[in-house]
Chain A
Amino acid sequence: MPADGGIGAATARREDVRFLTGVGNYTDDINLRGQAYVHFLRSDVAHGTLNSVDTSAADGMPGVLRIFTGADFAEVGGLPCGWQVTDRHGEVMQEPAHPVLAQGKVRHVGDPIAAIVAETREQARDAAEAIEVDIDDLPAVIDMKAALEDGAPKVHDDLTSNLCYDWGFVEENKGAVDEAFANAAHVTTLELVNQRLVANPMEPRVAVGDYNRGTDDSTLYTTSQNPHVIRLLMGAFVLGIPEHKLRVVAPDVGGGFGSKIFHYAEEAFCTFAAKALNRPVKWTSSRSEAFMTDAHGRDHVTKIELALDADNNFTALRTDTHANMGAYLSTFAPSVPTWLHGTLMAGNYKTPLIYVNVKAVFTNTVPVDAYRGAGRPEATFQLERVIDKAARELGVDPIALRRQNFVTEFPYATPVAVEYDTGDYVATMDKLEEIADLSGFDARLAESQAKGKLRGLGINCYIEACGIAPSNLVGQLGARAGLYESATVRVNATGGITVMTGSHSHGQGHETAFPQVVADMIGIDASMIEIEHGDTANTPMGMGTYGSRSLAVGGSAMVRATEKIINKAKKIAAHLMEAADADIELKDGQFSVAGTDKSVAWGDVTLAAYVPHNYPLEEIEPGLEETAFYDPANFTYPAGAYACEVEVDPDTGKVTIERFSAADDFGNIVNPMIVDGQVHGGIGQGIGQALLESCVYDESGQLLSGSYMDYAMPRADDVPFYVVDHSCQTPCTHNPLGVKGCGEAGAIGSPPAVVNAVVDALQRAGHGVTHIDMPLSPSRVWQAMQG
């Protein structure tokens, strides 16, 4: 292994030096000469007819450069949706227009009505207050089931209803599933809500549009997880700018959690306005704006039923879910409750028959799209909650019931269209029982009781699908994008390497982990390798970072490109040593001729590539730079088992997490410290969902939880010290590194563990509580205890 860390080394994150010492370069740090500022005037009503926008009093105010309204975008494309779902009747989903600025109607609080560009932010805000907006309020639809009733107000007048699609999966299995339920020895039913969340990355969104009149080039600096995707969507579908005239840069990005995947109106606006005004135009979201414009997450209402035979084997699973799309279709919204959710309903279990029905619904709320886990937390939560409920109803141990139904043979084709390549769910459960010290629970229970506290233990398993692929399959499922990744490995003359990856790092530590892989392959120090990402001008077309795909897909592309580099370098080395290509070996950065003591160093070969005086020019080109695109054969399937122990204060209902243990199987591990951090962060967000976070609208569509005064984010003292183990490793069989994904696991696996634990605590104390909807706030838990 390289001295400063190859594959498997817990190398400290090199990017933290700049992040933690204040020398990062975030989008809001970018200020261009002549830059103007935009302020968006946003709807303060959830639903209304937009009669007129009178800017006459504002147009001449100090500093105002121009005020744009929906009319300015009448000839401009709307924001596109990147996934088209086909419903259970073979019809494509209803897909409404999504204008950059509202046209004719406003559809949620925060919908942009006008954009004021001025010399300063405050001048733009001043002018916004002078704009006269005439809106006739319309009744808002907020509740999904009410939105589907006959006569409900329509969010989009040109659609037939508020139903986006009615998806059945697998539709052909429906009859068999129903029959299995009719023949079941036991059926457990659970109705639950997977509540709406706000992603809340530390850095709010920012966009800076720039235009060069001399070259007719446009540039957008933006807080994005996938700049190439934004370039394609915005260039091709909104503004009509070809890729070679449009550069998108996503510099340091302070967290995304999914919310920065999507193409947003503000990005298109700043790019458009920069050209219209021939000046850079900047927008920086306030936190208040983030609450009402960043795509929200989750928001499913589900009924799940589990059928078991007389021996407690799972025989069938049936779910009925309403999924909130919000007022418009965000970029990948339709895929989340369908292909990222239905395909995971088998979980870790060999349930032979599964039917999932999802109705996606438009409401007068902020659009909902992928948020850390995206569909998989929703699947895991309902499945692991219903299994826990079944165990209680049947009076069997919840761990034993799970073990009995585990998938144990791989590859395993689920009844929901995916094939798990590897896994060992028995091993992760065994490991969990060990690290969580389950045998010591009774003693800890007695300690809690002695303090007057209730104590409960919650267990759950999870499986997730990371690195969604391959492109030809997802295309059949409705994706309007490919899901490969790219890498260019540029070896410099003196041996240092720059890797340009289409994966984007916004907290994941790519700049540390990716060099560890290349260093390991060549046998040089990781410090000789630098990662570049986030700029479409210098990185090959990439699909970006989400769905825990970076190492499995982007890392694999980098491996393929590095393999090409090594092959070519061996040819050069063979020439230098006057040996046959096939006899060249590379070890510890030295090329040697097998069976001889002849060798040349890595740096000798790279120098020869760029100073090709003694070089086989007739056989190979000079230089040492290779690009690879990698399109995976399958998803990867990380899995694990989690345990949570809680104390509940019987007087107040307050839940305290006392212990949290996670046994994950991520396949091979490149940097175990980064993996720990990813799991810690994921569990923190899962605990946030389980206990604290909730995005709430009132009946009129006003956002009640529109700031941190009412939206409870997890703080350090809300979470325990985690026990995290990833020693169970079944390597992925189809990518070159044998890696899976770890970014979302914690957020997927932790909410059901917490809720199972609280229900356990209450039941041990004699309360007949079978379920509490998240967040399990003190008042909700107390209310549940009141019966």
Chain B
Amino acid sequence: MYAFDIERPTRLADAVKLLSDSVESQPLGGGQTLIPTLKQRLAMPDRLVSLGAIDEIKGICTGDDGALCIGGTTTHADVAAGAGAYPALAGLAGNIGDPAVRNRGTIGGSLANNDPSACYPAGVLGSGATVVTNTREIAADDFFDGLFATVLEEGEIITEVKFPVPEKAAYMKFEQPASRFALVGVFVAKYGDGVRVAVTGASEEGVFRWSEAEAALSADFSAGAIDGLSVSGDGMISDLHGSGDYRAHLVGVMTKRAVAAA
């Protein structure tokens, strides 16, 4: 990696200030993507601003409206252990990567990176969660902006994610054999006002909602409701591990399994 400076502020305000001054800086969450990128010399920030020491944006609580609120620097392992109020989300977090990844990687880092095969984007979009930053609140439907892209501004920090807790939910991931990222992952959540279905790993556009399935499941929340529905293989990722058509097929399979498991 190239040489860089590192700061470890303990207050959010200090982190915001560091990220907005004249030094070219990059926020560092758990580093599960950024550190390998640096090691391969694919990025050369002058300074990393680690968010890991800022206690005010870490941890899990329940909001006044009953939402599960997860601080931006909360690790996957902490969510897996502490999000008992939302078992589907805890299960998702507990199956990301391996123990080393889960003990370092954070929800805010994962969402800001928006890897098209990551699990959290499906959980956030599938829950209709709200991404809270140091400057604003962003609805999940507005947050993701294509592969590795979000609407976050330079220096904007995810401080919290608020998940409305559904009546039922489940996440089903079909793993890519090498990376064990999602080849296709489907998050299904049933709320009083309807069902949300979010798909990760499959689309060239990143995480997306499968609206036809949502409509069908809102009318009849059963695996059978998906019968006859399909997504097109066009626009799906096609690579060493599966064609677009295979991924499209898996979207249906994983959706049914998520409904059955919810």
Task: List the interface of chain A (C-beta within 8 A of B).
Answer: 122, 125, 129, 288, 651-652, 654, 691-692, 694, 696, 704-705, 708-713, 775, 777-779, 782-783
Given known A696-B240, A708-B179, A709-B179, contact A782–B40 (CB-CB < 8 A): no
Q: Are A777 and B241 in contact (CB under 8 A)?
A: yes
B177 touches A782 (CB 8 A): no
> Across the interface, do B242 and A779 meet the contact criterion of CB distance under 8 Å?
yes
Contact present for B3 and A122 (CB under 8 Å): yes
Given A704-B240, A705-B240, does the pair A778, B177 have CB atoms closer than 8 Å? Answer: yes
Are B179 and A777 in touch, CB under 8 angstroms? no
B178→A708 contact, CB < 8 A: yes
Q: Residue B177 contacts which of A125, A651, A692, A704 (CB distance < 8 angstroms)?
A: A692
Which residue of chain B lies nearest to A288 when distances are taken between CB atoms in the complex?
Answer: B40
Q: How large is the interface on B (under 10, 10 to 19, 20 to 34, 35 or more residues)?
A: 10 to 19
Q: Give the chain B neighbours of A652 by CB distance below 8 A.
A: 174, 250, 253
* Contact flag A782-B179 (CB < 8 Å), given A125-B41, A696-B240: no
Closest to A779 in B: B242
Residues in A with CB closer than 8 Å to B178 are 692, 705, 708-713
Question: Is B249 positioned at the interface, with any CB of A under 8 Å from its CB?
Answer: yes
Whole-angstrom CA separation of A318 from B251 in the bound complex: 45
Q: Could you say which of A651, A694, A713 has the most chain B C-beta atoms within 10 Å of its C-beta? A: A651
Check A779 against B246 for contact (C-beta < 8 Å).
yes
B243 CB–A CB distance under 8 Å: yes
Which residues of the partner chain A approach B243 to less than 8 Å between Cβ atoms?
779, 783
Asked whether A710 and B240 contact (CB < 8 A) given A692-B177, A777-B177, A778-B177, the answer is yes
Chain B residue with the shortest CB-CB distance to A775: B177
Residues from chain A with Cβ under 8 Å of B246 in the complex: 779, 782-783
Contacts of B240 in A (CB 8 A): 694, 696, 704-705, 710
CB distance from A644 to the nearest CB of B (A): 18
Chain B interface helix/strand/loop/mixed: loop
Alpha-carbon gap, A708 to B97, bound state (A)? 13
* Shortest CB distance B34–A (Å): 15
CB within 8 Å of A: which B179-232 residues: 179, 181, 183
Partner of A712, one of B2, B40, B174, B177: B177
Show 21 A/B contacts (Cβ-Cβ < 8 Å), sorted by A: A122-B2, A122-B3, A125-B41, A288-B40, A652-B174, A652-B253, A709-B178, A710-B240, A711-B178, A713-B178, A775-B177, A777-B241, A778-B174, A778-B177, A778-B242, A779-B241, A779-B242, A779-B243, A782-B246, A782-B249, A783-B243
Give the residue among A694, A704, A712 with the most B Cβ atoms within 10 A. Answer: A712
Cβ proximity bits B234-246 to A, threshold 8 Å, 1 near / 0 not? 0000001111001
Q: Whose C-beta in chain B lies nearest to the C-beta of A126?
A: B2
A696 to B240, CA, bound (A): 8
**What is the CB-to-nearest-CB distance from B43 to chain A, in angstroms, rounded to a whole number?**
14
Closest B residue by C-beta to A694? B240
Bound Cα distance from A782 to B250, whole angstroms? 10
Complex CA distance for A708 and B98, rounded to whole angstroms = 14
**Which of A288, A652, A713 has the most chain B CB atoms closer than 10 A to its own CB?**
A652
Complex Cα gap A125–B2 (Å): 9
Question: Using a CB-CB cutoff of 8 Å, which residues 1-31 of chain B contact chain A?
Answer: 1-3
- A708 proximity list for chain B (CB < 8 A): 178-179
State in angstroms the CA–CA spacing of A783 and B250 once bound together: 12
Mark each residue of chain B from 26 to 66: 1 if its CB lies under 8 Å from any CB of chain A, else 0. 00000000000000110000000000000000000000000
Question: Chain B residue with minimal CB distance to A125?
Answer: B41
Rounded to whole angstroms, the CA-CA distance of A709 and B181 in the bound complex is 9
Residue of A696, A705, A778 with most chain B CB atoms under a 10 A cut-off: A778
Closest Cβ of chain B to A661, distance in Å, is 24
Contacts of B177 in A (CB 8 A): 691-692, 712, 775, 777-778
Closest 9 CB pairs of A and B: A712-B178, A779-B242, A712-B177, A709-B179, A651-B253, A779-B246, A710-B178, A692-B177, A711-B178
Which residue on A lies nearest to B41, using beta carbons? A125
In the assembled complex, the Cα of A691 lies from the Cα of B253 at a distance in Å of 21
CB neighbours of B2 from chain A (8 A): 122
Kindly provide the distance from the CB of A190 to the nearest chain B CB, expressed in whole angstroms. 24
Nearest CB of A to B258, in Å: 13
Residues of A within 8 A of B241 (CB): 710, 777, 779
Besides A122-B3, A129-B41, A710-B178, 16 new A-B residue pairs in contact (Cβ under 8 A), listed by A number = A651-B253, A652-B250, A691-B177, A692-B177, A694-B240, A705-B178, A708-B178, A710-B240, A710-B241, A711-B178, A712-B178, A777-B177, A777-B241, A778-B183, A779-B243, A782-B246
CA distance A738 to B50 in the complex (A): 62
Interface centre among B41, B246, B249, by most A CB within 10 Å? B246
Distance to closest chain A CB from B175 (angstroms):
9
Q: Which residues of B contact A129 (CB under 8 A)?
A: 41
B76: min CB distance to chain A, Å: 18
Q: Mark B145-188, 1 if CB is under 8 A from A, else 0.
A: 00000000000000000000000000000100111010100000
| Residues on the B chain within 8 Å of A704, using CB | 240
Shortest CB distance B212–A (Å)? 19
Whole-angstrom CA separation of A711 from B249 in the bound complex: 23
CB distance from A697 to the nearest CB of B (A): 11
Nearest-CB residue, chain A, relative to B98: A715
| Distance between Cα atoms of A710 and B176 in the complex (Å) | 9
Residues of B within 8 A of A654 (CB): 174
Q: Which residues of A contact B183 (CB under 8 A)?
A: 778
Chain B, 115-165, CB within 8 A of any chain A CB: none
Distance in Å: Cβ of A440 to nearest Cβ of chain B: 29
Find chain B residues with CB under 8 A from A775 CB.
177
Complex: A782 Cα to B183 Cα, angstroms = 14
Q: Measured between alpha carbons, how far is A715 from B144 in the docked complex, in Å?
A: 32
B253 neighbours in A (Cβ, 8 Å):
651-652
**What residues of chain B lie closer than 8 Å to A777, measured between beta carbons?**
177, 241-242
Measured CA separation A376–B243 after assembly (Å): 33
Q: Which of A654, A691, A709 has the most CB of B within 10 A?
A: A709
The chain A residue sitting closest to B253, CB to CB, is A651
Task: Provide the bound-state CA to CA distance between A11 and B53, in Å.
Answer: 49
Residues on the B chain within 8 Å of A651, using CB? 253
- Shortest CB-to-CB span from B243 to chain A, Å, is 7
Closest chain A residue to B181, Cβ basis: A709
Contacts of A692 in B (CB 8 A): 177-178
In Å, the complex CA distance between A709 and B97 comes to 11
B86 to chain A, nearest CB (A): 26
**List of B residues within 8 angstroms of A783 by Cβ:** 243, 246
Contact with A along B89-111 (1 / 0, CB 8 A): 00000000000000000000000
Question: Nearest residue in B to A696 (C-beta to C-beta)?
Answer: B240
Which residues of chain B are within 8 angstroms of A709 by Cβ–Cβ distance?
A: 178-179, 181
User: Least Cβ distance of B41 to chain A in Å?
Assistant: 7
Instruction: Output the least CB separation between B81 and chain A (Å).
Output: 21
Q: Bound complex: CA of A256 vs CA of B196, how far in Å? A: 50
The residue of chain B having its C-beta at the shortest distance from the C-beta of A709 within the complex is B179
Q: For the complex, what is the distance from the CA of A292 to the CA of B4, rounded to whole Å?
A: 29
How long is the Cα–Cα vector from A704 to B41 in the complex, in angstroms? Answer: 19
CA distance A171 to B241 in the complex (A): 41
